[in-house]
Amino acid sequence: MKLLKVHLQACPSSQIRGLNDSSQISEAIFHQLTNLNILYIEQQKLTDIADNAFSPLSQLLELYLDWDQLTEVRAGMWLGLSQLQSLSLGNNEITALNSATFSTLPRLGALTLENNKLTTLSEGEWGNSEVFGAFYLKNPAKSICV
């Protein structure tokens, strides 16, 4: 039997192997889930994701990291996710993105960043913005320049 979808929502970190006390995801959590297509990790109070943490998930198509406490995202977090088509980072604490943030995701077609703390995105940071089929960016009561 192949596990294709996992949904972790508001689970105590002590019950999830690979989620350490500092609310960081490590690579160890995904070693047995190599065929996973959809992964939800929501309301886990995540503050960081180790670089290469998702590398065992080479078949992952959709990743939802909503309602956590991520403050930054780095290209290294997404290493190994070459098939990823949809990434949702809504309702976190992300303040800035740099030009390489999503460079390791060649098939990414939908990106959700709504309700973060982003204030400015310069066009140059995104290179060819036509890479995204859907781009959701909504921050209430904030001015965002794209």
Tokens of 103: 């460079």
Q: The CATH number of 1-146 is which of 2.60.40.1510, 3.80.10.10, 3.60.110.10, 3.40.640.10?
A: 3.80.10.10
Q: Would you list the domain boundaries of the chain?
A: 1-146
CB of 7 within 8 A of CB of 44? no
Cα–Cα dist 29/122, whole Å: 35
For residue 5, what pLDDT is reported? 57
Q: Which two tokens stand for residue 35?
A: 């065929």
**Residues of the chain with pLDDT > 70: what percent?**
64
pLDDT tens digits, one per residue of 53-107: 999 999 999 999 999 999 999 999 999 999 999 999 999 999 888 768 888 999 9
Q: Which residues pair with 120 in a beta bridge?
A: 145
pLDDT at res. 33? 81
Neighbours of 87 (CB within 10 A): 22
For 106-142, the pLDDT digits (tens) are 999 999 999 999 876 655 555 444 455 666 666 654 5
